[in-house]
Every structure is written in C-alpha cells, then in structure tokens.
A and B are shown apart, each in its own frame.
Chain A
Amino acid sequence: QVQLQESGPGLVKPSQTLSLTCTVSSGSLRSGAHYWSWIRQRPGQGLEWIGFIYYSGTGFYNPSLKSRVTILVDTSKNQFSLELSSVTAADTAVYYCARLTTEDFYFDYWGQGTLVTVSS
C-alpha cells in the first residue's frame, strides 16, 4: 500500500516562499506509470490542482500558478517537493500530495494533507 506524507511549516509569512515535502513509502518515485502531484484546498472551498512532476524531473503546472510554482523530485530520498513563492493570504489552504496515474490521470493515493496558513 503506497503511503504519502506531507511535511513542512504550517505558518508562512506573506511574500515569502511556501515549501513542502512529500515522502513516499511502499512505492517508488521511479515508477513510469505515475506522476507525483500537489493539490490544494482553500478553507471551505473545492480542490485545485497545482502541478505534477515525473521522476525524470519533467513538470506540469496549473497556468494560474505557474509563475510562482516549482515542483522538484529527489528519487534518492523518494521525495518530491513544492515551492510556492510570493505567497499571500489567498494561498492559505490544506496542501495534499498525491500519486497521479499517467494513463487516465486519476489520483489513486493521497497524503493526509497539511494546513499552511499565510499570516504575518
């Protein structure tokens, strides 16, 4: 059973960079059948796809966030990470990491999510 776990600061100041890491257990990031993704959910709102990365390092990002987002992968640690720059209060959300299949683009495994609050 693949497990994903988000980690990182729960509080980030406005204009700073939000950084989160997702650690994958019982599964390899080198799987050619999957992308590794970040999704967020603002308080009381729906789900928003942020982006995903392939083990090779190729990434795809939501155009609405693309200018501020970087997703990196570290296959040696079986981790991938999210960096979101120049954050504002609008970036306050629960951030989820998830595994995305390459065939029909569904998220089959999710982390439990981590709340990140942007506040001074």
Chain B
Amino acid sequence: QSVLTQAPSVSGTPGQRVTISCSGSSSNIGSKTVNWYQQLPGTAPKLLIYSSYQRPSGVPDRFSGSKSGTSASLAISGLQSEDEADYYCAAWDGSLKGVLFGGGTKLTVL
C-alpha cells in the first residue's frame, strides 16, 4: 500500500502538456527529494527525473519535475506517442527508513 499517492491514469493528445502528481507526507516528500521513473511496456523502469528537478543525460527537456511542500509533479510537454508508459514517483521515507514508490500513473496518448 503506497504512501505516495498518484492518480491511476492520465491521458493527453499529441503536442499537449500533461502533469502527473504525487502526494506524500512530511516524512518523505516534505523532507526529501523526489525521483521519477518511466516504465515503457514490457521494460524495466528508467530514471527520468532525480533530486526533484534534475534530468539525467539523454532525457528530453520536455520532461520536468517540481516539488512543493509534501507534493511533487512531473510535467510532460509536447506529448508524443512514445511517452505512453507508466510513471512512478519515489522518495526516501524517514519513518520507513527505505524507499517508497507511488502507485504509478498510466499515461495514455490518445
């Protein structure tokens, strides 16, 4: 049972901007950085955003992260069909003393 809450699904059309939200608490997002992972169908997750805002080398700048208080968001602009995937937020939790994942959000490109 995830303590990081994500909407199960979101959709958008090509070229559109979509936002995926992640809600936590003071023991995780409120005090630690947030990381985002993209999981394309049938593949392993891939790091998309780290330290709340940073993009690894090779990740397009269409992807951006933000954080405020105990919530975080992943924004995808200029939506493309290849962005259709599951997106997971994650953060260190001081109470769990471990890594928490959100339940995941399935992005559908219409």
Cross-chain contact of B32 among A47, A51, A61, A105 (Cβ < 8 A)? A105
B60 part of interface (Cβ distance < 8 Å): no
Q: How far is the CA of A22 from the CA of B47 in the complex (A)?
A: 19
Q: Which of B97, B102, B104 contacts A60 (CB 8 A)?
A: B97
Please measure, in the bound complex, the distance between the C-alpha atom of A101 and the C-alpha atom of B56, giving whole angstroms.
13
Q: How many residues of B contact A (CB 8 A)?
A: 26
Q: Which of these, A61, A62, A107, contacts B45 with CB under 8 Å?
A: A107
What per-residue 1/0 map shows which CB atoms of B75-102 lie under 8 Å from chain A?
0000000000000101110001111111
Contact A96 B44 (CB under 8 A): yes
Is A29 located at the chain interface by the 8 A CB criterion?
no
- A111-B44 in contact given A46-B102, A49-B100 (Cβ < 8 Å): yes
Instruction: Determine which residue in B43, B45, B46, B56 has the highest number of CB atoms from chain A within 10 A of its CB, and name it.
Output: B45
Q: Are B101 and A106 in contact (CB under 8 A)?
A: no
Given A46-B102, A49-B101, A96-B45, decide whether A108 and B96 contact each other with a Cβ distance below 8 A: no
The DSSP consensus for interface residues of chain A is strand
Q: A112 near B: Cβ within 8 Å?
A: yes
**A106 touches which of B50, B100, B103 (Cβ 8 Å):** B50
Given A105-B35, A106-B47, A107-B45, also A100-B99 (CB < 8 A): yes
Q: Is the CB of A46 within 8 A of B101?
A: yes
* Given A47-B45, A104-B35, A104-B92, 20 other A-B residues pairs in contact with their CB atoms under 8 A: A37-B99, A46-B104, A47-B37, A47-B88, A49-B98, A49-B100, A49-B101, A60-B97, A61-B98, A96-B45, A104-B33, A104-B51, A106-B47, A106-B90, A107-B35, A107-B99, A108-B47, A108-B50, A110-B45, A112-B43
**B binding-site residues for A, Cβ under 8 Å:** 2, 32-33, 35, 37, 43-47, 50-51, 56, 88, 90-92, 96-104
Question: Can you offer 24 A-B residue contacts whose CB atoms are under 8 A?
Answer: A37-B99, A46-B101, A47-B90, A47-B101, A49-B99, A51-B98, A62-B98, A63-B96, A96-B44, A104-B35, A104-B51, A104-B92, A105-B32, A105-B90, A105-B92, A105-B99, A106-B35, A107-B35, A107-B47, A107-B99, A108-B47, A108-B50, A110-B44, A113-B44
